[in-house]
Structure 1
């Protein structure tokens, strides 16, 4: 497993690089995790409804090819993209979603925060508030896109959307949950837990 720290990178070129990587990989290509922070951007999934963008917040909207509805990425949020060969790992998509959610739950659990998943609403929640969102795309058995964890960011842009298509959904972040991790520290911890989950499945 190769881990690449992309630093802060614009959304659209990163997405196009994921598509190119996935299109060009062979059965021997190692899996990769890309860790990145994006400038402010809304992304709308393949079946996403534009009406879930409630107001023009002056933030660009990019229509993309993952599942799910609309979400927000911005500075202070950790994003990990999982570029995996699923058959090689004997993973089904549902199992992968469960692995990703469990990695976030374990990551927060290290700091005494109880988080949970919800049936029919992928992501990770603390109480009624969503702390991590996920969306994936699978092409020829290989996946890309991944998970975003709110760490220490301006949450106000979430008020301009129905997060993941849910009107009025509350959103939180690890800083407000009393977890004293900087975004780079949170990225390291989440990556460690993702690798641990994926290696259990090998």
Structure 2
């Protein structure tokens, strides 16, 4: 089961629904009931604040947030504040890290390499920045990385700006770093990019870096039904 990566393409999914799904999947993965899995999704406009974050890094109040059609949640991933919305590819990974030394560091490095190589395939040069999480292009953030690990199994993952409305990033301090700005593949190359194509390229690079075979997994509805059959027997 560890030699395959199941790919689940959800389409646009409510953030809280996706978060709950990940936690249920992580429990099932710890019990070896499902394979290592990647979820490819998009969310309605949503700000999330990680364990190191502060709501003060959201620059608009609740009324303005509602007028922008967005929501905000405090969540259990690493990192500070980030934005998710249409046109951004969000990649959640339910992966058993095993017992390899420095497994978490290697895991995060694989995620960053996946993003950088995918960007390179579009002629965009992305780089990590010392002291700043994620992947950056000419000083502007193009991908956020934030994960959680529970009993060796990861959830959360990374978000890559493909064709999002970058206006939403003006309403926050990205990663809690004043003066930071956001960019996207569309902004960098001057034209929109097919989200499914980006997803395929992401999966190909993930499979390469984790040395696994990527296989098409169930639909999100099929996955939910499968998890419902196992939830009662699993501990949180």
TM tier relative to shorter chain: over 0.9
Gaps of 5+ in 2: 213-236
Q: Distance in 2 between matches of 1:89 and 1:3?
A: 24
Tell me, what secondary structure is at the counterpart of 1:148?
A: strand
Question: Partner residue of 1:42?
Answer: 47
Question: Partner residue of 2:211?
Answer: 199
Query: Shift in Å at residue 101 of structure 1?
Result: 0.5
TM-score (norm 2): 0.80
Query: Shift in Å at residue 180 of structure 1?
Result: 5.1
Residue 28 of structure 2 is aligned to residue 24 of structure 1: yes
Stretches of 4+ aligned residues off by more than 3 angstroms: 88-91
134, 144, 148: which one pairs with 1:133? 144
Residue 198 of structure 2 is aligned to residue 165 of structure 1: no
> Retained in 1: the 8 A contact 2:8–2:39?
yes
TM-score (norm 1): 0.93
Which is worse superposed, 70-79 or 28-37? 28-37
Q: Distance in 2 between matches of 1:158 and 1:111?
A: 23
12, 20, 43: which one pairs with 1:8? 12
Residue 106 of structure 2 is aligned to residue 95 of structure 1: yes
The alignment yields a C-alpha RMSD, in angstroms, of 1.7
Map Cα deviations across residues 147-200 of structure 1 (whole Å, 9 max, x no partner): 100011101111111111111211000011116521221122112212211118
Which is worse superposed, 110-119 or 146-155? 110-119
Which is worse superposed, 10-19 or 107-116? 107-116
Q: Distance in 2 between matches of 1:180 and 1:6?
A: 21
Q: Distance in 2 between matches of 1:162 and 1:180?
A: 25
Query: Shift in Å at residue 24 of structure 1?
Result: 2.9
Structure with more helix by fraction: 2
Map Cα deviations across residues 20-45 of structure 1 (whole Å, 9 max, x no partner): 11123314631000000000000011
Tell me, what secondary structure is at the counterpart of 1:2?
A: strand
Equivalent residues, number: 200
Question: Partner residue of 1:116?
Answer: 127
Residue 193 of structure 2 is aligned to residue 190 of structure 1: no
**Larger Cα-atom Rg:** 2
